[in-house]
Chains A and B, each alone.
Chain A
Amino acid sequence: MPAKNQNKKAELLQGTLDMLILKTLAAGKLHGYAVARQIQQASNEALVVEEGSLYPALHRMERRGWIEHEWGLSESNRRAKYYQLTAAGRKQLTTEKQRWNRFVEAIAIVMNPSLPEA
Chain B
Amino acid sequence: MDLVQTLGQYVPAVWTQTTAEIDAEIREELEFHLDMRTEENIRAGMAPALARRDAQERFGDFESSHRACRKITLGPRLALRRLQTALLALLIGVVVYQAVVLARVQQANQSQIESLKNTIDQLQAAQVSPSNERAPVPSWHWDPGLPTESLTSTLVPTVPEDWGTAPGVLDRPWCDWQALDEPPGEH
Contacts and interface: CB of A to CB of B under 8 A. Distances in A.
B58 A51 contact: yes
Contacts of B39: 76
Nearest to A71: B25
Interface size class of B (residues with CB under 8 A): 20 to 34
B29 A74 contact: no
Contacts of A56: 65, 68-69, 72
B121 interface: no
A63 B72 contact: yes
Interface residues of A, number: 19
A46 B64 CA distance: 26
Given A56-B72, A63-B73, A79 B65 contact: no
Nearest to B66: A55
Interface in B11-35: 25-26, 28-30, 32-33, 35
Contacts of A81: 25, 28-29, 32
Summarize A's interface: helix, strand, loop or mixed.
helix
Nearest to B40: A37
Summarize B's interface: helix, strand, loop or mixed.
helix
Contact of A52 (B25, B26, B36, B64): B64
Contact of B28 (A52, A63, A79): A79
B33 A51 contact: yes
Contacts of B69: 55-56, 59
B30 A55 contact: yes
Contact of A51 (B25, B28, B60, B72): B60
Contacts of A78: 32, 35
Contacts of A55: 26, 29-30, 33, 65, 68-69
B59 A51 contact: yes
A31 B33 CA distance: 9
A91 interface: no
A20 B68 CA distance: 20
Given A55-B65, A81-B28, 13 more contacts: A32-B33, A33-B32, A33-B37, A50-B60, A51-B37, A55-B33, A55-B69, A56-B65, A56-B72, A63-B73, A63-B75, A74-B32, A74-B36
Interface of B: 25-26, 28-30, 32-33, 35-37, 39, 58-62, 64-65, 68-69, 72-73, 75
